[in-house]
Structure 1
Amino acid sequence: MEFNIGPRMLKTGLAATLTLLITGLVGLKLEIVAAIAAVLAMQPSIMRSFAYIKEVIISNGVGLIFALLGSFLLGNHPLAVGAIVILSIAINIKLGLTKTVSLTILTIITLMLSGESGVDFVYIVERLSLIVIGVLSAFVVNVAVFPPDHRKILYSMIKDTSDRIHFLMRVVPNNTMTVPKLKEEDREIEKGITKAKDYYEIISDERNRLFIRNRRSFFRNIVIYKHMIKMLEKQHNLIRQLEKNLIEIEKDAENKVYLIKKLINEINTYSENVFLMYEDKIILDRDLQKETKSAMQLTINNLINELQGAKFEKWFYLFPVANSIIELFSELEKLERLVRFNERKEKRKKA
């Protein structure tokens, strides 16, 4: 069984430790509340930590108001606490403050369970200080310890998913994989694309940081990653169309099956070469690429000609495959241009 401790796990532990040390130094009770707040407040990026703090201020303001009203009007009976929690959750969701709902609940419970001492100004300050210490500790640790290298993380996600897709694009046309294994790989690819898209949102947020060293290079790579993810989606769609329609194509359009398989193999090689060029591992010859593209375009034209005057049934299974190939080829051309442009800029920078 694998046991990996990632940077975020480590930072969460450090944030909880820092929180407990600070609460111990200032002599605050219920330090566990501050530690829980630190764990809830740990975010995957620095910009999201900023956004989280802003949301915490608003949502905890709402929580404070409801907690005080609940304490004075209903007391601190468990049913009263539950009712206030439900009401505050509804209000926070209505206001769009969904990320900090858990922290708001923690604030309400901490404030309402005052015991015999009752709620006064000192009590409110002490309880809110626990939340503030936890959130700020998480922010400080997130900034100071292992600042996330989002470009590296995102490209790793994209590359892992791309490797799976390239493998499937080799085996699916030849029907050399069992159905259960094929479905398993398909699910993993879908998860990988979703993770990459979600992380792209994080890296898009991160572009607004003031301390990015090379902003132009950062922005160029952001655009490249965006098109890489689009390409993964196009490739995945092509694989699904092949799974769905290839058997029918083999039955009714035998003369085109070889062309389709050959074209998919060429596109797959083209895609792999673009990735290798981005990694600066190979140099793609432009003339050779032009010949390859011409061959691919010729095959695509043959597929289009096959559809002209064909019966509806043939359109039903041949057109989705042809359309997926055309969309993927178009996206690959865009990606190649972006990678070449980035390559020229990087060389000028080093010169």
Structure 2
Amino acid sequence: MKLGARMLKTGIAVTVALYIANLIGLPSATYAGIAAAFAIQPNIYRSFQTMFEQIYANIFGVSIATLIVFTLGNDPLIIGFTTIIVIGFCMYLKMNENTTALAIIAVLAVMETTEMMLLNFTGLRFSSLTLGIVSAFFVNMLFFPPKYELRLFKQIDQMTADILQWLRISTRHLSDDPALKGEIDRLDLEIAHIDHTYSLYSEERIYRRKARIPKMRKLVIFRQMIVTSKTSLETLRAIYQYDDKIDTIPKEFQQVLVDELDKIIYSHERLLLSAMGKIKKNQRKLVEDITTPNIPHLVDTLFLVYEKDEKDRHSLLPLASRLMEYHKEILYLQKLLYSYHKFHEGINLNFKKKKRRILP
């Protein structure tokens, strides 16, 4: 099992909350630890949002519980009824599951039987829960800050490499159909993970004005990288769907298809390597100058193949359309990368992982 940063931060937050609660003499330190465990979030922005949301939920849960204990008591049936009210309120405000759970914990913490004065007891429980929430926020901000930029690019790079590998294999009819089908399903899940990582990265706030515009341009580049990879996956899906029809067409067209797809794949790979800083910057020699996919020629060849057979003339046009869309997205990605290097020449994209310095 891989121990992630969020697991470590949860443990640190619980520890910090318990230490502070014991240090200031709160008798209910356990509730501070529970609140800290529920308050850890994947990035600082969400942690900031969650902190206020959970404090509001804590106030509401404690207030409702105190009012109910004053008026109706703390019978188990009444506690259950109060829990339903709090859950309904949290759902009405569209709070997340962790916030709702914390509100329920606030209700249970206040409505348990005690010989202490109710207001003092309520204040102690509220203070413990709030301490846990605030402790989690500071731990989330200070320890193991997430590097979503590097993580996102690594995910895109790995997924794209898998797609392009299967594209090369499939166009040469070397792929196993069940294995390819399973890979396409897996890649669909990978894209969902990448979209989630992109969402977390886009939520990161840049407060220095000088770094804000480069960050916005990076967001556009990442979004286009994801779109281009999705288009390459759709091309792979189309090849898988039309594989039996490709086998029936003349060898000349099959060779044209392989050649044009190889050019598109090469262009895609070269752009990713360029973004990683592994290719020399030479703006006089663009991707098209090295290997230009000629998709119109591919479509013309397809029409020549079926010009005498009206029935099957358009059967492979969806595949040609996918290739045209794929090439269009690659050209747009190239334009964005060129624009970024043009306007931010001195700012690195930071897609390469920094090497650790080995001390003698």
Q: Is TM more than 0.5 here?
A: yes
Match of 2:224 in 1: 227
Shift of residue 211, structure 1, vs aligned partner: 5.1
Q: Is the 8 A contact 1:67 1:108 kept in 2?
A: yes
Distance 1:32 1:116, change over 3 A: closer
Report the Cα distance in structure 1 between the residues aligned to 2:67 and 2:227, rounded to whole angstroms: 50
The structure 2 residue matched to 1:178, chosen from 176, 183, 186, is: 176
Q: Which amino acid aligns with 1:224?
A: I
8 Å contact from structure 1 (residues 34, 131) kept in 2: yes
* Rounded Cα–Cα distance in structure 1 between residues aligned with 2:84 and 2:210: 45
- Judging by fraction of residues, say which structure has more helix: 1
The number of aligned residues is 345
- Counterpart residue number, 1:267: 264
The C-alpha deviation readout for 1:210-267, integer Å capped at 9, x for no partner, is: 2587223222211111111111111111111111112123225665333222222221
Alpha-carbon distance in 1 for matches of 2:310, 2:117: 79
Contact 2:43–2:146 (8 Å) recurs in 1: yes
Q: What per-residue deviation string (whole Å, max 9, x for no partner) do you get for residues 19-53 of structure 1?
A: 11011111223322211211111111111111112
In the alignment, is the contact (CA less than 8 A) between 2:57 and 2:90 conserved in 1? yes
Rounded Cα–Cα distance in structure 2 between residues aligned with 1:288 and 1:344:
16
Q: Deviations over 1:165-189 (max 9, x none)?
A: 1221122223323344323322332
Counterpart of 1:210 (choices 184, 207, 210) is 207
Structure 2 unaligned blocks of 5 or more: 349-360
Distance 1:156 1:55 in 2: 33
Report SS of the residue matched to 1:76.
Answer: coil
Structure 2 residue aligned with 1:138: 136
Is 1:330–2:323 an aligned residue pair? no
Aligned to 1:104: 103
- Is the contact between residue 59 and residue 126 of structure 2 (CA under 8 Å) also seen in structure 1? no
Matched, 1:246 2:251: no
1:275 alignment partner AA = L
In structure 2, the partner of 1:129 is 127
Q: 1:344 to 1:32 in 2, by over 3 A?
A: same
Q: Output one character per residue of 1:107-165: Cα deviation in whole Å (capped at 9) or x when no partner.
A: 2221222x132672221221111211111111111111122222112112211211211
Q: Does 1:34 align with 2:32?
A: yes
Greater alpha carbon shift after TM alignment, 134-143 vs 303-312 = 303-312
Matching residue within 166, 169, 174 for 1:168: 166
Alignment-mate amino acid for residue 342 of structure 1: Y
User: Structure 1 residue 302: deviation in Å?
Assistant: 3.8
**Identity of counterpart residues, as a percentage?**
26
Matches within 5 A, 1:5-84: 5-84=3-82
Q: CA shift at 1:293, angstroms?
A: 2.4
Amino acid across the alignment from 2:235: L
What displacement does 1:271 show?
A: 0.6
Q: What 5-or-longer segments of structure 1 have no aligned partner? A: none
Q: 1:305 to 1:129 in 2, by over 3 A?
A: farther
CA shift in 2, pair 1:301/1:128, >3 Å: farther
Deviates more, 1:302-311 or 1:100-109: 302-311
Using the size of structure 2 for normalisation, the TM-score is: 0.86
Task: Check 1:287–1:98 CA distance in 2 against 1; reply closer, same or farther (3 A cut).
Answer: closer
Q: What is the root-mean-square deviation of aligned Cα atoms in Å?
A: 2.7
SS at match of 1:44: coil
Distance in 1 separating the partners of 2:307 and 2:75: 76
Confirm or deny: 8 A CA contact 1:37 1:135 kept in the other structure. Answer: yes
Higher mean displacement: 19-28 or 59-68: 59-68
Residue 63 of structure 1 and its aligned partner are, at CA, apart by 2.3
**CA–CA distance in 2 between the matches of 1:251 and 1:311?**
15
Secondary structure of 1:15's aligned partner: helix
Runs of 4+ in 1 over 6 A off after TM superposition: 304-310
**Residue identity in the other structure for 2:138:** V
Q: Please list the CA deviations of residues 309-350 of structure 1 after superposition, one character each: whole Å capped at 9, or x if unmatched.
A: 9756553x5232122212111111110111122223343559
Matching residue's letter, 1:175: H
Change (3 A) 1:304 1:36: farther
Evaluate the alpha carbon distance shift between residue 118 and residue 287 of structure 1 in structure 2; reply closer, same or farther with a 3 A threshold: closer
The whole-number CA distance in structure 2 between the counterparts of 1:92 and 1:308 is: 64
